[in-house]
């Protein structure tokens, strides 16, 4: 009708609505890939710097910023749980929670080792360095999931929260470290002002880790179904971020790659996440 009446404004409106419908259908198809009960949950994301001192600590901080930018773009809420600063720059480890619809489902494929190749800003001779950091994502347990933890299985230590000096340094032992003896899982929290709040947050992370451990056992039993996806562990490098001599980010599980490395480090992760969850390689 718009073509018969030569009404370009209506044509533009129809095209815009068609594009919205296509995006909605693609989103529904993608959501069908998130069929596991835990996919709908929030996430706990931890980053640990690998060997390499300042280089790796700086890389861990860059990854933290990347994921925080991703969550911001997708309107997810984050809360810092633990942050251990590097001796000169960056961080040795950081843990934060992510609240949002299907947060764990979207981010679960980020677990593994991330490799950075660049000219080091800390090297006076401007040599190329390779740095590693590990990312671990676990589902955030909600009230519908019961995780039984015996008090006798816990060792709880308190210590003074670190800081960079000034008024932010805690004078009391408010930070909490909890060790789950049967699994040797260690979690810690120092972001809150009171020991009670830090203990509550640390228990939340511990339940998340134990739940993820049980899920890993179930996945191992269904290894045939997951045979096309590489096992996630410290020794498995899932993605490389090359900033020199060329710029390229490549996922080694799906072969998806992007030449705009700066955009990836600024939180543009949708292509990598979609290609992993769909279980097939895509191109930029």
pLDDT score, position 284? 42
Q: Which band of pLDDT confidence, cut at 50, 70 and 90, is reported for residue 112?
A: very high
The string of pLDDT tens digits covering residues 222-270 is: 554 344 334 434 456 899 999 999 999 999 999 999 999 999 999 999 9
Higher pLDDT, 142 or 16: 16
Q: What are phi and psi of 167, to 5 degrees?
A: -75, -15
Q: 128 near 244, Cβ under 8 Å?
A: yes
- The pLDDT > 90 percentage for the chain reads 55
pLDDT score, position 24? 82
pLDDT score, position 249? 98
Given a cut of 60, whether residue 167 has pLDDT beyond it is no
pLDDT score, position 34? 86
Q: Which residues of 134-147 are buried (b: 16+ CB within 10 A; e: fewer)?
A: bbbbbbbbeeeeee
Give the chain as a 3 state SS string: CCCCCCCHHHHHHHHHHHHHHHHHHHHHHHHCCCCCHHHHCEEEEEEEECCCCHHHHHHHHHHHHHHHHHHHHCCCEEEEEEEEECCCCCEEEEEEEEECCCHHHHHHHHCEEEEEEEECCCCCCCCEEEEEEEEEEEEECCCCCCCCCCHHHEEEEEECCCCCCHHHCCCCCCEEEEEECCCCEEEEECCCCCHHHHHHHHHHHHHHHHHHHHHHHHHHHCCCCCCCCCCCCCCCEEEEEECCCCCEEEECCCCCEECCHHHHHCCCCHHHHHHHHHCCCCCC
What residue ranges define each of the domains in the chain, with the CATH number in brackets?
Answer: 38-221+256-278 (3.30.70.1660)
The string of pLDDT tens digits covering residues 180-201 is: 999 999 999 988 888 999 999 9
> Which whole-number Å values give the CA distances from 7 to 4, 13, 21, 279, in the listed order?
8, 10, 22, 43
Given a cut of 60, whether residue 136 has pLDDT beyond it is yes
pTM, 2 dp: 0.75
Report the mean per-residue pLDDT for the chain: 85
Q: What are phi and psi of 198, to 5 degrees?
A: -65, -35
pLDDT score, position 192? 86
């Amino acid at each position: 009708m718009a073509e018969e009446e030569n009404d370009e404004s209506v044509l533009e409106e129809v095209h815009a609505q068609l594009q919205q419908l296509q995006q909605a259908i693609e989103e529904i198809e993608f959501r069908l890939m998130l069929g596991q009960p835990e996919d709908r949950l929030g996430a706990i994301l931890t980053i640990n710097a690998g060997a390499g001192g300042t280089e790796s600590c700086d890389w861990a901080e860059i990854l933290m910023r990347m994921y925080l930018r991703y969550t911001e773009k997708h309107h997810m809420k984050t809360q810092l749980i633990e942050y251990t600063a590097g001796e000169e720059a960056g961080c040795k480890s950081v843990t934060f929670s992510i609240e949002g619809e299907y947060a764990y489902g979207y981010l679960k494929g980020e677990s593994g080792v991330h490799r950075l190749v660049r000219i080091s800003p800390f090297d006076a001779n401007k040599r190329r360095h390779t740095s590693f950091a590990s990312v671990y994502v676990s589902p955030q347990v909600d009230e519908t999931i019961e995780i039984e933890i015996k008090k006798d299985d816990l060792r709880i230590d308190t210590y003074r929260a670190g800081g960079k000096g000034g008024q932010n340094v805690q004078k009391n032992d408010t930070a909490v470290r909890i060790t789950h003896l049967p699994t040797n899982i260690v979690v810690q929290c120092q972001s809150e002002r009171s020991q009670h709040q830090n203990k509550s947050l640390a228990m939340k992370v511990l339940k998340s880790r134990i739940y993820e451990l049980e899920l890993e056992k179930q996945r191992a039993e269904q290894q045939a179904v997951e045979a096309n996806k590489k096992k996630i562990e410290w020794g498995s490098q899932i993605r490389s971020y090359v900033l020199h001599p060329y710029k390229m980010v490549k996922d080694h599980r799906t072969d998806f790659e992007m030449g705009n490395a700066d955009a990836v480090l600024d939180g543009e992760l949708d292509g990598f996440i979609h290609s992993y969850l769909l279980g097939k390689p895509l191109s930029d």
